[in-house]
Structure 1
Amino acid sequence: MFTITADWMSFVIVALATLFLIGELLVNAKGIFSLLGIGFITIYFASFLDPGMFFIMIIIYFFGLMLMVIDGKVLNDGTLAVIGLVCMIVSVGFTAPNWIAGSYAIIGVFIGGVSSFGFLKVFKKRQMWTKITLFDQLTDEAGYSSINQSYKELVGKTGITTTDMRPIGMVLIDEKEYSAITQGKWITKDTEVEIVDVDGTKILVKDRKIVKEKSVD
């Protein structure tokens, strides 16, 4: 089996593994990317670890990847995605034989993860991501003018959060619930908010108290 002899190779192997594994989650590559990703990450862990630690670290790595999937498909608030990223970083960082190789490997996780989004420009996006409400961009050209208009009319209205917004949650507006997002701020349940912008079906809200304070200033 191929083994890693140079520290910089940790970056290359981990970056390619993360690139293909996250790429498999983003686009429909018919399993080819997953096989390549598993192959590269197996080479990385097998080069530095004995069989016992190999299985522990590879489980931590894929557990982190699984948390990203759950966050993207179910929760979509970024919490589990961050925990998953930390798991992946810990697994590749502690596997490396020295801090230089470990640093290269950690950088590889970030570079590979970011680069994987480039596949979206070439391959068909997986349906699991298109089902997330806030990712839908309904345009007039696509025949959604009436829906767009009804959402645009929400701008300036006030509502009450029915869930905690971290930063995505549900808001009750005119006796109807909508999925909405804040500008990165966490807002607790039962808080009065104001709709400040609408993009397709993406509703941006702010805490009503903050809006009032700014208007007074």
Structure 2
Amino acid sequence: MFTLTADWMSMLVVGFATLFLIGEVLVNARGIFAILGIGFITIFFSSFLDTGMFFIMILVYIIGILFIVIDGKLLNDGTLSVIGLAMMIFSVGLAAPNWISGLYAVIGIFIGSVLSFTFLKVFKRRSMWQKITLFDKLTEEAGYSSINESYRELIGETGITVTDMRPIGTVRINDKEYSAITQGKWLVKDTEIVVEQVDGTKIQVKELEN
């Protein structure tokens, strides 16, 4: 099997692996990106690790990628992204034969992660993300036309959080409780809020500025 003979090659191989694996999760590439990504990361880990550690480190690396994508698409609070990035850095750093090669590999992770989002401009994004409309930008310009009038009247109304918003929770507006969401910001219970936007029965709120 092909092995890495120079430290700088770690950046190239890990960069391509990250690029294609995150790209596979984001867009519908029919598995081609997954095959390419797994191929590149296999080259990296197999160059330096025995069979047992190889499977452990590649699992840690892939889980780290999934954490980053889940955070970016669902939670938007950065917690899972930090954990996922740390897992990826840990896996390639531990596998590298020296600190220079490890540094190159970490740089490859950052470059590949950033470039992977350019696939969204070229390829069709996966429908699994399109169906999670609660986390999309709630605007009529984006195509949201089925507005429930009774909920639409809540826009601009103020209220208070009944539960912690992480970023979904319950708010009380005009003595009625509603399920609502923030734009990725966590709010504690009893925080004053104002309704920003509404899509059907989905209410987006933000902290009320005094």
- Smaller-chain TM-score bracket: 0.7 to 0.9
Alignment of 1:59-74 (within 5 A): 59-71=59-71
In the alignment, what sits opposite 1:215?
none
Instruction: Indicate how the Cα distance of structure 1 residues 110 and 154 shifts in structure 2: closer, same or farther if over 3 A, else same.
Output: farther
1:165 deviates by: 2.6
Say how many residue pairs are matched. 205
Change over 3 Å in CA distance of 1:164–1:94 after alignment to 2: same
Aligned match of 1:160:
160
CA distance in 2, matches of 1:9, 1:104: 8
The question of 1:169 aligning with 2:162 is answered: no
Q: Which moved more, 1:52-61 or 1:40-49?
A: 52-61
Residues 141-152 of structure 1: pairs in structure 2 closer than 5 A: 142=143, 144=145, 147=147
- Structure 1-normalised TM-score? 0.80
* SS of alignment partner, residue 140 of structure 2: coil
Q: Shift of the alpha carbon at 1:152? A: 6.6
Alignment-derived partner of residue 80 in structure 1 = 80
CA distance in 2, matches of 1:151, 1:123: 35
- Tell me the secondary structure at the aligned position of residue 28 of structure 2: coil
Q: Deviations over 1:92-114 (max 9, x none)?
A: 11111111111111111111111
CA contact 1:48–1:97 (8 Å) conserved in 2: yes
Task: Tell me the C-alpha RMSD between the 2 structures.
Answer: 2.8
Could you tell me whether the CA contact under 8 Å between 1:138 and 1:148 is conserved in 2? Answer: no
Task: Work out the percentage of aligned pairs sharing the same amino acid.
Answer: 58
Structure 1: 5+ residue stretches without partners: 213-217
Q: As a proportion of its length, which structure holds more helix?
A: 1
Distance 2:61 2:185 in 1: 29
Q: 1:198 to 1:143 in 2, by over 3 A?
A: closer
Alignment of 1:59-208 (within 5 A): 59-71=59-71, 75-132=75-132, 133-140=134-141, 142=143, 144=145, 147=147, 153-166=153-166, 168-172=167-171, 173-174=173-174, 175=176, 177-182=178-183, 185-195=185-195, 197-198=196-197, 203-206=204-207, 208=208
TM-score (norm 2): 0.82
Distance in 1, Cα, partners of 2:99 & 2:150: 55
User: Given the alignment of the two structures, is residue 46 of structure 1 paired with residue 9 of structure 2, yes or no?
Assistant: no
